Copies of this chain bind each other. A is one copy, B any other.
Amino acid sequence: MSDMSPIYLYDQLTAQGETVRSLKAQKAPKVDIDAAVQLLLKMKVDFKRVTSQDYKAGCPPVDCAISNDHKEAVDGDDQVDPWNVSTTSAKGVDYEKLIVRFGSSKIDEELVDRITRITGKVTHHFLRRGIFFSHRDMHQILDAYENQKSFYLYTGRGPSSEAMHVGHLIPFIFTKWLQDVFDVPLVIQLTDDEKYLWKDLSQEDCYRYAVENAKDIIACGFDVNKTFIFSDLDYMGSSPSFYRNVVKVQKHVTFNQVKGIFGFTDSDCIGKISFPAIQAAPSFSSSFPQIFSGRTDVQCLIPCAIDQDPYFRMTRDVAPRIGFLKPALLHSTFFPALQGAQTKMSASDPNTTIFLTDSPKQIKNKINKHAFSGGKDTVEDHRKFGGNPDVDVSFMYLTFFLEDDEQLEKIRQDYASGDLLTGELKKLLIETLQPMIAAHQEKRKHVTEDIVKQFMTPRKLDFKC
């Protein structure tokens, strides 16, 4: 759960170039200048590896083809792995193709209907609208559930900064719904160790971000009696069972395999190379003996964005070889940047999306100023030819956050016909997000350190097996 997107690398490189120039201008000690230049060169090598292009100042890698170090990344122009998501299509990644490439299954009407039937609850609009669009073994989870055999949920977040944005909420909103309708326990992994390994951050910062992010996650409404949130830096050192499972996975995955799956190279640190086992281990119920009393046969269901699938393909490959059940998965699409669906969200640029800390005014300004529009250049043309909701980011955001199907469909039709103008569409989104974010902020305010501690303490959870 990391970002090494071309744009991120480009920004870092540009900043480093400025550092070097400034050191030279200040006539800084030679050793400092040399160190800064060394880092610059290393970053250029990384940039070239990811983008297949040489870095040019002032020329960001918008349309660059992504180099395919690893097997996963070959299909048209879409690149999807845990550190890079990009496409050249304004509609976003081609998810139908992704299902074929990843070998997962489509969440079709039959599956959605079955979930509705079994839970007896209105199905979440993320399912109805194909925001969760792909799965692995979900029917198996439902078969067992119908036979009174329960399961547990596992999702996670890489805490790379204090600030979370609305896109980060998608898996948590959906997981909360799953927890409610199936009444099952949930474990949430905060990969602070991964962020430390991948980014230029201290362990203390990564851990602090983990705790801060936990507050936003708790604010989504999870049941403390059914939810365990853990920082890797803490839990690895608090659970011999968890470490034992990590080592089991590490014994059964070779460097060749992680190279193929994740594109690691010989220059990567050994922490990165072995990390996938740490994201795999929570998929096995024996990693949480305090919850499952040492049982190895409670199956795991993982709701996550599709870019995390490589971790769990690896996990599913290893599971039977170490005597464990394969986790099932539900995959979501990506949440688009305000600027368009070509790239995944990044927490490092405040203007690329709406953050959970944004004020009503900031929300309004960002949407009005930055949300890519599918409308026409003039009001006249828009009235005459209509807008394109498929590439309009405001409309995309509404599909995530406006629950009323009929209202959404009416907006779509009105925008396509030209009855609804871009400014009006943006206003609808602003009016949807402002109260939602304000409510989140209000809930987060009530998440005290004590409550965080409760959620993050390894303990027994309510679990009917």
A interface residue numbers (CB < 8 A to B): 193, 196-197, 203, 233-234, 236-244, 247-248, 250-256, 258-259, 264-271, 273-274, 276-277
Contact = CB atoms under 8 A, between A and B. Distances in A.
Contacts of A236: 236-237, 240, 243
A201 B216 CA distance: 43
28 contacts: A193-B247, A196-B247, A196-B251, A197-B251, A203-B247, A233-B243, A234-B240, A237-B241, A238-B238, A247-B271, A250-B274, A251-B271, A253-B269, A254-B266, A254-B267, A254-B268, A254-B269, A254-B270, A255-B264, A255-B267, A255-B273, A256-B266, A256-B267, A258-B270, A259-B266, A270-B274, A273-B273, A273-B274
A383 to B, nearest CB: 58
A239 B233 CA distance: 10
Given A196-B247, A197-B250, A237-B243, A270 B267 contact: no
A70 to B, nearest CB: 13
A242 B240 CA distance: 13
A264 B233 CA distance: 27
Nearest to A194: B247
Contacts of A247: 193, 196-197, 203, 233, 271
A317 to B, nearest CB: 13
Contacts of A258: 270
Given A240-B237, A243-B233, A270 B271 contact: no
Contacts of A238: 237-238, 240
Contacts of A270: 250, 253-255, 258, 273-274, 276-277
Given A240-B233, A240-B237, A252 B273 contact: no
A314 to B, nearest CB: 10
A133 to B, nearest CB: 31
Contact of A271 (B203, B234, B268, B277): B277
Nearest to A255: B266
Q: Which 5 A-B pairs have the closest CB atoms?
A: A250-B271, A237-B240, A274-B274, A237-B243, A270-B274
**A255, A259, A276: most-surrounded residue (chain B CB, <10 A):** A255
